[in-house]
Structure 1
Amino acid sequence: MRPHVDQRQAQVREILRVRGSVRVAELAQELGVSPVTLRRDIEAMAARGEIQRMHGVISKVAAGHAATAASVSARATAPAGDGGEGLVIGMVVPTTEYYYADVVRGAREVIEARGARLTVGLTRYLPGEDRTQADRLLSTGADGLLLTPTWDAGSPGPGEGAWTAELPVPTVLVERWAPPGHPAAGLDRVASDHAHGAARAVQHLAELGHRRIALASRETPTSARLRAGFEAAVAALGLEPAPAWPEAGAGAAAGQGPLAEAELFARTLDYLCTAVQESGVSAALIHSDTDAIMLIPRLQARGVRVPEDLMVITYDDEVAGLADVPLTAVAPAKREVGARAAGLLLDRLSAGAPQDVPRQHLELLPLLTVRP
């Protein structure tokens, strides 16, 4: 690397150390370099786990993220040809944006480091599209699959998803679970322990003296696990339960069909305001970061001060550190999930790999990042 490249990247690290985050366009102007040149530096620094990047913004790596990035980087730089030469790995995910951007990145780094190639199919959460994409990847020569099916609760409902256990190639479920007795329960899987992540947030808030804590999470593939961990922690710590979360199907039950995005957001806002003003709730875990960042000014406009009246922890930690007042957040190890899943699948596909090795169910614990 030429000296001026070293110096420029050192400047970027120092700026992030002082400011925490910065927009890429502004940084290019400040450093007097072209956006193309700066993007090359950012790509190199992100690949080494030195910085985080998202939607035109880069930020410094929190301590927990640094450990994950270093772990992924170590595997990504392993000698090529470690049991993956010439293999094609198909990966079916809902999207390559937001949460799954890091999952795909972690998988890609490990797959390419071992001499294999990654191809991706997107479902956009459309019903049945996961099977369509899996079949397409198989028809183009995929030797194995990393699969994130569109299961609304993160696990299949009755009669759903049995096809995943009948695929003709080794398959690893990624950020999905199948209950005991379901055909897919015998597949390898790698996922975040979202229940632990929610419980860790409750524990932290209880340590700060909060006795009545709310969970605000729309219905997503993550929410069932979040709620289970949240409720278990509230009970284990002897905390006072918060008001019940509004029933998700209220609008549909009244014959109005599913609630629109704006209505769901309004219901969350109403729930939190009522919980604080009428039920003594003093803290909340909000899923996700974007919801929290949008909710906070609206809560304050309705007389709920944050953090004076309501301490907020967010779940996902995608943009929590970029809020006006950086928010404490729980971060699933997304990149590591992708890396572990890819490594597990490649191990299954390696020439000479024993066929009787027990299947594995790996759950990675999310990290709590406390911000002042």
Structure 2
Amino acid sequence: MRESGAGRRQRVLAVVEARGEVRVTELAAELEVSVITARRDVEGLAREGRLRRGHGVARSLVPVRPPPVPGERGGDVVALVVPERHAYLNEVVHGARAALEEAGVQIVLHPAPQVAGAEQPIVDRVLAGGDVRGLLIAPRWRTAAAQDTDDCWLAGLEIPLVLMERRPRPGSALRGRDSVCTDHGYGVDLAVEHLVALGHRRLVLAARDDSPTARALRAAFAEACAARPEVAAATIVLSAPDAGADPAVAPDEPSLADLVCERGATGVVMHGDIDALMLVRQLAEAGIAVPRDCSVVAYDDVVAALGSPPLTAVAPAKAEVGRLAAGLLLERLARGPAVGQPRRVAVLPELKIRASTARVSV
């Protein structure tokens, strides 16, 4: 689905806030748009007072401390490894950055390319330099098999690390490491509970299937619907043809709007704000009004409030996830990696009710 201008500008802002300063040409390459489009987005955000514009660069309004010198007091260096072009994790990185800078710790960001196994050579190279004392990491893990592959080498690292928005599976070699993750099961349950309370009985979840978050949402939706006898039918589909673990294999399925009509669904939970905004338009084109005929809940809440109508959304506290992950890592750096039990922190999202959900018409 084509991204809206508001969604793209939100991604621009998230990248700039995560890094402090970014060249416009780099933004254009990362967001896969023209330099002219990136420049217009930066100018618009600057007029709104959300960032500062310099000669060919965009700067965050959040003050950036000069990085401390490794080896001096407070000169710890922490590496952040996250997938490139991942808007969701940009806010997580921003939260971690704020907490680490407040503690006087130098941060080095390493975006991982969208290829299998990209994180390990990056981490190996980073640690070979000898300056990095801690690691915050969110592996891509497009499949469960990819997660299994990464478990052993990550668990064997000899520096403190904290997983961000990733949770070790039962029996994983990583179960002895710290992690901070949104409780996506709780978030999906909030969405289903809200729709059921409004009288919706035939529900659809449209989600990706190529990340730990996506897999958690799909499992949680099935569980939440099964636990409520009021739900007469629950359907799980891909949010887009390329949203599976293997984007080269696009399933031959009807459009989501057609599926809603076919199944008689009156409530949809959509993984991702941009896809949810596009769904509202597609439903309207099919003669289905939101929320009169179908209620829509977005899962993310980055730009959901900018929709017409504004979208009800599950809002993960992404910056808080990053802040808490940084706090755990700082404790490990201060006390030693082997001191204390490993901790798994689950951060509860909230449901923000707006105009895209309503009681079922009778």
Name the count of aligned residue pairs: 299
Paired residue for 2:218?
227
Paired residue for 2:360?
none
- Is the CA contact 1:289–1:314 (under 8 Å) kept in the aligned structure 2? yes
Q: In the alignment, is residue 240 of structure 1 matched against residue 232 of structure 2?
A: yes
Q: 1:24 to 1:341 in 2, by over 3 A?
A: same
Cα separation, 2, equivalents of 1:348 and 1:312: 42
Cα separation, 2, equivalents of 1:174 and 1:223: 15
Q: In the alignment, is residue 361 of structure 1 matched against residue 344 of structure 2?
A: yes
Once the two structures are superposed, what CA deviation does each residue of 1:13-41 show, in whole Å capped at 9, x if it has no partner?
Answer: xxxxxxxxxx885686699xx966xx999
Matches within 5 A, 1:15-30: 25=43
Structure 2 residue runs without a partner (length 5+): 1-40, 66-72, 356-362
Paired residue for 1:294?
278
Q: 1:279 to 1:344 in 2, by over 3 A?
A: same
1:203 deviates by 0.6
Q: In the alignment, is residue 273 of structure 1 matched against residue 258 of structure 2?
A: yes
Paired residue for 2:155?
165
Give the number of the structure whose residues are more often helix, by fraction. 1
Cα separation, 1, equivalents of 2:330 and 2:239: 43
1:118 deviates by 0.6
1:89 deviates by 0.4
Q: 1:149 aligns with which of 124, 139, 158?
A: 139
Q: 1:370 aligns with which of 336, 347, 353?
A: 353
Tell me which amino acid in the other structure corresponds to 2:181: A
Cα separation, 1, equivalents of 2:233 and 2:103: 49
What SS does the corresponding residue of 2:270 show, helix, strand or coil? strand
- Is the CA contact 2:271–2:298 (under 8 Å) kept in the aligned structure 1? yes
- Is the CA contact 1:331–1:367 (under 8 Å) kept in the aligned structure 2? yes
What SS does the corresponding residue of 1:290 show, helix, strand or coil? helix
Q: In the alignment, is residue 92 of structure 1 matched against residue 92 of structure 2?
A: no
1:259 deviates by 4.0
What SS does the corresponding residue of 2:132 show, helix, strand or coil? coil
What SS does the corresponding residue of 2:205 show, helix, strand or coil? strand
Paired residue for 2:112?
123
Cα separation, 1, equivalents of 2:176 and 2:85: 27
Cα separation, 1, equivalents of 2:268 and 2:238: 15
1:137 deviates by 1.8
Cα separation, 2, equivalents of 1:157 and 1:99: 19
What SS does the corresponding residue of 2:255 show, helix, strand or coil? helix
Cα separation, 1, equivalents of 2:48 and 2:134: 46
What SS does the corresponding residue of 2:127 show, helix, strand or coil? helix
Tell me which amino acid in the other structure corresponds to 1:121: H
Cα separation, 2, equivalents of 1:158 and 1:27: 41
Q: 2:94 aligns with which of 105, 109, 134?
A: 105
Q: In the alignment, is residue 217 of structure 1 matched against residue 207 of structure 2?
A: yes
Once the two structures are superposed, what CA deviation does each residue of 1:183-224 show, in whole Å capped at 9, x if it has no partner?
Answer: 112111111111111111111111111111110012131111
Compare 314-323 and 93-102 and name the one that shifted more: 93-102
1:273 deviates by 2.1
Q: 1:356 to 1:208 in 2, by over 3 A?
A: same
Q: 1:244 to 1:229 in 2, by over 3 A?
A: closer
What SS does the corresponding residue of 1:220 show, helix, strand or coil? coil
Tell me which amino acid in the other structure corresponds to 2:234: A
Paired residue for 2:321?
337
- Is the CA contact 2:207–2:236 (under 8 Å) kept in the aligned structure 1? no
Q: 1:347 aligns with which of 327, 331, 336?
A: 331
Once the two structures are superposed, what CA deviation does each residue of 1:92-116 show, in whole Å capped at 9, x if it has no partner?
Answer: 0003651111111111111111111
Q: 2:61 aligns with which of 22, 32, 43?
A: 43
Structure 1 residue runs without a partner (length 5+): 1-22, 48-75, 77-83
What SS does the corresponding residue of 1:161 show, helix, strand or coil? helix
Cα separation, 1, equivalents of 2:100 and 2:111: 18
Cα separation, 1, equivalents of 2:322 and 2:194: 27
Q: Under a length normalisation based on structure 2, what TM-score does the superposition of the two structures give? A: 0.73
Cα separation, 1, equivalents of 2:111 and 2:45: 33
What SS does the corresponding residue of 1:317 show, helix, strand or coil? coil
Aligned-residue CA RMSD in angstroms? Answer: 3.3
Q: 1:197 aligns with which of 155, 163, 187?
A: 187
1:303 deviates by 2.5
Q: Under a length normalisation based on structure 1, what TM-score does the superposition of the two structures give? A: 0.71
Once the two structures are superposed, what CA deviation does each residue of 1:144-182 show, in whole Å capped at 9, x if it has no partner?
Answer: 111111211478544443100011201111111221211
